[in-house]
Structure 1
């Protein structure tokens, strides 16, 4: 079996992004793209020259065809993106905003990806990967995807694979806040590296500052925790190192969606290159800043040359 740098799984979505500001009820023109947290990470890694493998399902429909084609064009292996004839592909509508977070309307209930099941050949796929990445979104989609995630993480741990975990909280998908917190934290405790945002960390731990949030997971045996602080950069802690990494200045925030996934791309790509955690966090800050200056969930994720130019031309702010 062919080897891959990173293996991830999740729900791909077609994005319909408004071309003009205003409520989704009033907008008449949209442009089309793809998204989904794990899709964004896979595409971002491919643009940096890594070899990502993505596991999912799409419907037997034009949106599923579009996702598969776009992933192939981006260099993401789609051998394990299978067609589910019993369900349709998920999609979303997103507003265009001048500031703040956009409004998003999802059409994803009972989607093809929500019916994903773990198979024996997925174990061999995990064996072939250098690193595995997962988010908290599949844990909330359905009983099937939660079961898939449980078997996925068990197989990854058995194969002694390095595991990164981004909580990516979606409260609206969960039956209760308590179930969300308990489930997300149980998976986070099994990861090698956990990547919560500050607001997510506060929700998940009940603690307020980045140092406390990081310590919460370190005390559960997590190897490294990176707390994303938005424009202020990030705080990281390992078993023997800790510190703040300043963010990169942004000329104009165009779209906040995908910034956290861009951050994950930076961290994971640097870890694959055996860079220290502090350097990985700095790269995450750079790519997160690049993503928020572009419209769309992944349109700002850079090539290797674009990343290098940005890091050289735009100085990182002091933490």
Structure 2
């Protein structure tokens, strides 16, 4: 696969931090933001309210050069909001119900490029409308599907998530999510092998916080990586999304699994030195662009 279109489906929202900072976010938005900085021009499919935050998202995307063609506006429901707290060094999320991204609709999406990679998470499909739209997109899609598991209480069920995984080619989840979906994870690699085999996946990636991450593909290649310790930690919000963005980039550009994992870990580590999940300065990305010969 070489530089095919990447379609990103799911929530766009505003993260509200304890210090009253508000940062645009949502895993799909964060992933699309990074991909844009790396020259991928993602097709972001989401929905915002007809409100101040929605306008801020549109303006930020426009300034960043992103495609707004598939960002829908809802006249009834507000742009998504999440209250973020930091507990034991890890972000915790309080997610409001019935937000604009719960009502992503299919009209207007038939003309997108349905090849390449389709990326989605698990939060936006908590609602029937967005779930139906994703199913319709999958029915039209002619390429690979990447699911980024984000289990946010109370907005998920094990059966629903496993069905989503069953439709995917590549799956990324963290160690806690692996525990939630597997009955026995005493041996992490064995659990990865079981999930990979049961759902006929091509690649499974498990992130393990400060321990790094592990990847396993269907040829048996196992690729562990460790985080970079030289970064001064500010917060870990969005580190997983940064990791996902580089996984998509690597898969799309034909990097080896080992290269992709090392580069994803490097970029995710760098993001923990930033406040929030996105950076609006292209200079932050330039060393990676140069090093990876993009």
TM-score (norm 1): 0.82
| Matching residue of 1:299 | 279
**Which residue of the partner structure matches residue 12 of structure 2?**
12
1:130-179 residue CA offsets vs partner (Å, 9 max, x unmatched): 21111111122x111121222222222xx2x11111111112223xxxxx
Separation (CA, whole Å) in 2 of partners of 1:213 and 1:183: 19
| Aligned positions of 1:16-165 closer than 5 A | 16-19=16-19, 30-95=20-85, 100-106=89-95, 108-119=96-107, 121-127=108-114, 129-140=115-126, 142-156=127-141, 159=142, 161-165=143-147
Q: Deviations over 1:7-45 (max 9, x none)?
A: 1111211223343xxxxxxxxxx2332000100000011
Distance 1:68 1:5, change over 3 A: same
Separation of aligned partners in 2, 1:101 and 1:125: 36
Structure 1 residue 246: Cα displacement: 2.1
2:254 aligned partner: 274
| Cα distance in structure 2, aligned partners of 1:143 and 1:232 | 36
* TM superposition shift of 1:96: 6.3
Alignment deviations for residues 225-262 of structure 1 (CA, whole Å, 9 cap, x no partner): 11112232222111213223222323333212211111
Deviation track 1:38-94 (CA, whole Å, cap 9, x = no partner) reads 000000111112111111111111111011111222222111112111221122333
Provide the residue aligned with 1:238 in structure 2: 217
| Structure 2 match to 1:172 | 154
Q: Matched residues in 2 for 1:163 and 1:210: separation?
A: 23
Give the TM-score, by structure 2 length: 0.88
The answer to whether the 8 A contact 2:9-2:118 is kept is no
User: Match of 1:170, SS?
Assistant: coil
Give 1:201 deviation, angstroms.
Answer: 1.0
Contact 1:231 1:249 in 2 (8 A): no
Q: Counterpart of 1:197?
A: 174
- CA gap of 1:213–1:124, structure 2 versus 1, over 3 A, is farther
**Which secondary structure state, in structure 2, belongs to the residue aligned with residue 261 of structure 1?**
helix
Aligned-residue Cα RMSD (Å) equals 2.4
Could you list the runs of 5+ residues in structure 1 that have no partner in the other structure? 20-29, 175-179, 312-319
CA distance in 2, matches of 1:196, 1:96: 20
Mapped to 1, the partners of 2:130 and 2:262 lie a distance apart of 32
